[in-house]
Amino acid sequence: MCGFVTLWHAGDEALAREMVERLSHRGPDATEVTALAGAPVVMAHSRLAIIGPDDGRQPINQGDDMLVVNGEIYNHEDLRAILGADEFESASDSETILHLFRTGAGRWISRLDGMFAFVLATPGRILAARDPLGIKPLYMARRGEGLIFASELKAFDGLGLVDIEAIAPGSLYDSARGHRQWYRIPHGAADAEPGLDVTATARELRLVLEEAVEKWMVADVEVGSFLSGGLDSSIIAALAARCRARAGKSALKTFAVGTEGSPDLMAARKVAAHIGSDHHEHAFTPADIAEVLPHVIYHLESADIDLVRSAIPTHFAARLARRQVKAVLTGEGADELFAGYTYHHGYVDDPRALADELTRSLGTMHNINLQRVDRVTMAESLEARTPFLDRDLIDFAQSVPASLKLCRTDADAAEATGPTTEKWILRKACADLLPHDLVWRKKAQFDEGSGTVDALQEALRMIAGTTGPVGRDVEGAVYERFLRQAYREPDMVLDNAGTWEADRVTRPAA
């Protein structure tokens, strides 16, 4: 993972260095600033070395072209073989982007498989693009007649820039041709077709998921796994542990956080024992939350109440993990793919509306949950990887009928979480991986199962100087105050923040 800045007709090396220093948390291993000879472009890059750590310096400057990348290209070895290994000057996966571009193929970018954001410059042209779901961030702003690109909004703070926008997920900006949407999320299926073999569907889902986890573990450094004790992270950790065992490697390192005695910590210990991981945990207190809250909000670049709440345990997990590893797997995306949120239960009798809502929520993850995961982990110089958002897995999961993801069940049945069961097909596909009572455990959000909600209430009372309950209005005001104190141009940040319910598909009537 990395952070970068690019100036196109918009400034010099001093400005680029000033901006990238605000992103140094994203890449503590090396920082470089480079101008492209004969072109109006300067690039700055802060690197966290994951693949090709010895010779993967950036910006990549070859001939008349220069490139900065944030992310990982998981099929880089296959592409290297196809493009010709002799063309490459390093072992870095990022260099693949430059050589694909040079092929001149119309849809060259669609061949990249991974999570990424990049800017590529030639003497007369600049391109900027993001991965299909926007796992890695990228913003663009105008400065006079020029353009400035950066990995985080904080790089723009205090520069008085206008027309700041996020490069959309699955899109490419080309100064010569404008914006282009190179990837579209496949629309979700609703009802099962007649004769659908549910058992075979679950079995195929398991195979696709196994391949995704194996692919997203590719690295030249050790990769660990967050383990909240919930279904999603437990599935990922169980598959990752098997992957490491098959490769003859040491036990997977897992990381869990919560308040002392919280359900998540207890469940995570049980899962860790079951899969044989090298488990680490941290119990945080209300005082800990009060202390880190300004730091979390500054790095999160949002004051959204629900986003801040879920960012708090992510912060403690990231800080714990970074002591041991440079990269971790997370369970993000399973709720959006398989109907895992509490509000989804309202769609149980309308699979078409559910499928539409899941498709919508996948398209908004980039400035909600994926923003949280990226910003909060990168604040600790930790790379977070999201196997559930593998492109092949998204394609397959969206083809699975929504009626198999959320369905009515007998609350007393062994394979049910209640009268309606969320993520039903995912549970079926992975039932053998984990203890039965965990596979069919009632869902708890990370901030609830970890004990964050109660501890946060106490922390907010400390901050607000009150003894009574702190309502959402006061809570939101506290978060916005911290954000405004952290930035010279807080409205610039707030104007670009996402919200949980933006454009949500209307629930069917009860």
User: For this structure, is 2 an active site residue?
Assistant: yes
3-state secondary structure of 50: coil
User: Which residues have a Cβ under 8 Å from the Cβ of 245 and sit 6 or more positions away?
Assistant: none
Radius of gyration of the chain (CA): 22
Conformation bin of residue 440: beta by default, left when phi > 0, alpha when psi is -120 to 50: alpha
Query: C-alpha distances in angstroms, 345 versus 274, 360, 508?
Result: 30, 16, 11
Q: What is the largest CA-CA distance in the chain?
A: 71
Per the listing, tokens 């503590």 go with 28
User: Which residues have a Cβ under 8 Å from the Cβ of 2 and sit 6 or more positions away?
Assistant: 26, 27, 45, 46, 47, 48, 58, 68, 69, 70, 71, 151
Pair of tokens at residue 329: 């797997």
The identity of residue 324, as a single letter, is: Q
CB 36 within 8 A of CB 6: no
The identity of residue 201, as a single letter, is: T
- As a whole number of Å, the end-to-end CA separation of the chain is 45
3-state secondary structure of 414: coil
Residue 47 pairs with which residues in a beta bridge?
A: 2, 30
Size (the chain), residues: 510
3-class secondary structure per residue, 336-368: HHHCCCHHHHHHCCCHHHHHHHHHHHHHHHHHC
Which runs of E-coded beta strand occur in 114-245? Answer: 114-122, 125-130, 139-143, 146-150, 162-166, 171-174, 178-181, 223-226
Cβ-in-10-Å burial (0-12, 13-18, 19+) of 53 comes to middle
The identity of residue 273, as a single letter, is: A
Pair of tokens at residue 250: 């040491």
Query: Concatenated DSSP letters for 370-399?
Result: HHHHHHHHHTTT-EEE-GGG-HHHHHHHHH
β-pairing verdict for 60-62 and 178-181:
unpaired
Active site residues: 2
